[in-house]
């Protein structure tokens, strides 16, 4: 009899074979997307064939279109109002200060891994950056779970694997590199090949270093996706079912002269409403800002005098490049935000703009290439791929989301 695992009000079939689910960070899809362009230009021969044999669709990610928010949406099958991770960086009302949301204690829902592990599944989770490892690995006791960034520190107690560098045959990759993502795939293949224990579910989460740097169809992007194509081929040849999605898309946000096209919202609000009346928080801010300078397309704003909220909202709506300005209540309803972890307003900008705090708050000296970033509604398109033809019932879903990828990969066998 088929075993059904239920977590966060969704049920998942036990994998019929080793199922590898991949989050291809920042893989903006569509006609001019990374994968489509790489396929068209001949860099992904395996994917070209696999799309014909399998299922490929476009879907949406959760808001804000950030990495941690969406990785946690994917692995819980839910939205931020349920799992609680709505930012990299937020104003913590309990501590009354701005802080990172990296700690696993912020996660309010169980992961699909935890539920499967409890029923005896063999699981391996490999992430690029260590910031995600703790969140993804919350409550796991038997599953392999480590980051490429700190692969040398993986040990049996914490990661249920050791000697990762020897196993993979590669040194610890640089954190800002394509190698960081490649290491994940190389490790995945080695773990599956070594076959010490049959893996039921594997989750691989890459980093968007390349996508922040290079546009779809560019030489750098094509060679990155060519590398991925090679590993997908290996995973398929090992007999795995392979599925992927992305945490968010990615858009170019620079002016013709190459400088970032930024709306410095805190400066504009200070001018209009006085210095300490608002606090703009760029929730994309994390310890790894080299590739985006903490500039994304989403901010939240705390306002002391609640009677001014509507006024400020209307002022923001009139700024060129702004997409939406929502009150807390509206963002809870429309964008599934956790009300206790966002400010009085939520603001997003259009694709070719970025939102900043004040000019003085962003160190852009590390930005080597024209800014590409994400966070808003214009960066919510994501690819959805499963290496097998799914039964047609999945088409009855009103909307395909990245956080449906486990459901699609496990529940729609023909």
Whether the ω angle into residue 366 lies within 30 degrees of 0, i.e. cis, is no
- Tell me the closest approach of the beta carbon of residue 295 to Zn ion, in angstroms: 14
Q: Min. distance of Cβ 211 from Zn ion in angstroms?
A: 8
Phi, psi of 264 (to 5 degrees): -85, 90
List the one residue out of 409, 411, 410 whose CA is nearest residue 55.
Answer: 409
Instruction: Tell me how far, at minimum, the Cβ of 407 lies from Zn ion, in Å.
Output: 21
Q: What's the burial of 314, exposed, middle or buried (CB within 10 Å: 0-12/13-18/19+)? A: exposed
Pattern of binders to Zn ion over 230-249, x per CB under 5 A? -----------------x--
Q: In whole angstroms, how close is the CB of 225 to Zn ion at the nearest point?
A: 16
Q: How far is the CB of 276 from Zn ion (least distance, A)?
A: 33
Applying CB under 5 A, the span of 9-17, 75-83, 178-186, 208-216 interacting with Zn ion comes to 208-216
Residue 210 or 281 with smaller CB distance to Zn ion: 210
313: which residues sit within 8 A by CB, 6+ positions away? Answer: 325, 326, 327, 345
Size, binding site for Zn ion by CB under 5 A: 5
Distance, CA of 235 to CA of 103 (rounded, Å): 32
**Least distance between Zn ion and beta carbon 84 (Å):** 18
127 lies in the site for Zn ion, by CB under 5 A? no
Closer CB to Zn ion, residue 182 or residue 208?
208
Minimum Å gap between C-beta 245 and Zn ion is: 12
CA atoms within 13 A on the CB side of 252: 13
DSSP3 helix / strand / coil % (the chain, rounded to 5): 35, 20, 40
Stretch of residues binding Zn ion (CB under 5 A), selected from 25-33, 57-65, 95-103, 104-112: 25-33
Overall residue count recorded for the chain in this entry: 414
Beta carbon nearer to Zn ion, 209 or 231: 209
In the bound state with Zn ion, the residue whose beta carbon lies nearer, of 222 and 402, is 402
Residues within window 242-281 making contact with Zn ion, judged by CB under 5 A: 247
Q: Measure Cα distances from 329 to 281, 299, 310, 325, 382 in Å.
A: 18, 15, 12, 12, 26
Query: Minimum Å distance from CB 334 to Zn ion?
Result: 22
Q: Would you count residue 208 as binding Zn ion (CB under 5 A)?
A: yes
Alpha carbon 42 to its chain's center: 26
Give the separation between CA 85 and CA 236, rounded to whole angstroms: 32
| Nearer CB in complex with Zn ion: 61/345 | 61
**Which of 216, 150, 137 lies closest to 183 in space, CA to CA?**
150
Beta carbon of residue 401, minimum distance to Zn ion (angstroms, whole number): 16
Among 22, 25, 72, 386, binds Zn ion (CB under 5 A): 25
- The burial class, CB within 10 Å (0-12 / 13-18 / 19+), for 239 is exposed
Residues within window 140-179 making contact with Zn ion, judged by CB under 5 A: none
Question: Which range in 63-71, 359-367, 376-384, 396-404 contacts Zn ion by CB under 5 A?
Answer: 63-71
What is the DSSP secondary structure assignment for residue 49, as one 8-state letter?
Answer: H
Residue 67 engages Zn ion in binding (rule: CB under 5 A): yes
- Write down the least CB distance from residue 14 to Zn ion, Å: 29
Identity of the residue, 18 or 402, whose beta carbon is nearer to Zn ion in the bound complex: 402
Q: Counting contacts by CB under 5 A, is residue 286 touching Zn ion?
A: no
Please, which residue, 67 or 331, has the CB nearer to Zn ion?
A: 67
Nearer to Zn ion, 25 or 36 (CB): 25
Stretch that binds Zn ion, among 20-28, 103-111, 152-160, 175-183 (CB under 5 A): 20-28
Q: Which of 9, 59, 53, 11 is nearest to 33 (CA)?
A: 59
Residue nearest to Zn ion (CB): 67
Surface-to-core class of residue 321, CB atoms within 10 Å of its CB (0-12 exposed, 13-18 middle, 19+ buried): middle
Cβ at position 222, least distance to Zn ion in Å: 19
Q: What backbone phi and psi angles, to 5 degrees, belong to 331?
A: -70, -30
Nearer to Zn ion, 292 or 328 (CB): 292
3-state secondary structure of 409: helix
User: Given the rule CB under 5 A, which of 67-75, 181-189, 197-205, 275-283 is the region that contacts Zn ion?
Assistant: 67-75
DSSP 215-256: -TTSHHHHHHHHHHHHHHHHHHHTT-EEEEE-S---EE-B-T
Residue ranges that bind Zn ion, judged by CB under 5 A: 25-26, 67, 208, 247
């Amino acid at each position: 009899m088929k075993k059904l695992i239920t977590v966060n009000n969704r049920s998942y079939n036990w994998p019929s074979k080793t199922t590898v689910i991949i989050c291809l960070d920042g893989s903006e899809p569509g006609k001019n997307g990374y994968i489509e362009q790489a396929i068209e230009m001949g860099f992904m021969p395996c994917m070209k064939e696999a799309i014909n044999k399998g299922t490929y669709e476009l879907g949406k990610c959760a808001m804000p279109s950030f990495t941690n928010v969406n990785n946690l949406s994917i692995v819980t099958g839910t939205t931020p109002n349920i799992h609680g991770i709505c930012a990299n960086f937020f104003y913590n009302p309990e501590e009354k200060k701005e802080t990172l949301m990296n700690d696993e204690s912020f996660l309010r829902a169980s992961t699909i891994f935890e539920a499967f592990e409890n029923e005896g599944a063999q699981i391996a989770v490999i992430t690029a950056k260590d910031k995600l490892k703790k969140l993804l690995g919350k409550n796991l006791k038997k599953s392999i779970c480590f980051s490429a960034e700190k692969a040398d520190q993986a040990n049996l107690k914490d990661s249920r694997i050791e000697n990762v560098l020897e196993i993979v045959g590669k040194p610890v990759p640089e954190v800002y590199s394509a190698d960081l993502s490649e290491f994940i795939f190389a490790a995945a293949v080695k773990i599956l090949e070594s076959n010490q224990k049959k893996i039921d579910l594997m989750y691989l989460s890459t980093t968007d270093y390349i996508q922040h740097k290079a546009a779809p169809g560019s030489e750098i992007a094509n060679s990155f996706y060519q590398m991925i194509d090679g590993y997908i081929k290996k995973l398929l040849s090992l007999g795995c079912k392979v599925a992927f999605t992305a945490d968010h898309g990615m858009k170019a946000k620079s002016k013709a002269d190459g400088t970032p096209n930024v709306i410095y919202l805190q400066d504009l609000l200070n001018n209009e409403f006085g210095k300490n009346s608002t606090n703009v928080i760029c929730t994309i801010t994390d310890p790894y800002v080299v590739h985006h300078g903490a500039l994304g397309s989403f901010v939240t704003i705390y306002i002391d005098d609640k009677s001014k909220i509507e006024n400020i909202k209307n002022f923001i709506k009139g700024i060129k490049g702004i997409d939406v300005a929502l009150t807390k209540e509206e963002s809870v309803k429309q964008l599934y935000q956790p009300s206790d972890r966002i400010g009085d307003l939520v603001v997003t900008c259009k694709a070719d703009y970025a939102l900043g705090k004040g000019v003085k708050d962003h160190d852009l000296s590390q930005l080597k290439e024209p800014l590409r970033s994400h966070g808003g509604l214009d960066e919510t398109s994501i690819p959805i791929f499963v290496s097998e033809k799914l039964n047609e019932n999945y088409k009855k879903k009103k909307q395909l989301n990245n956080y449906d990828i486990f459901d699609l990969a496990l529940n729609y066998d023909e």
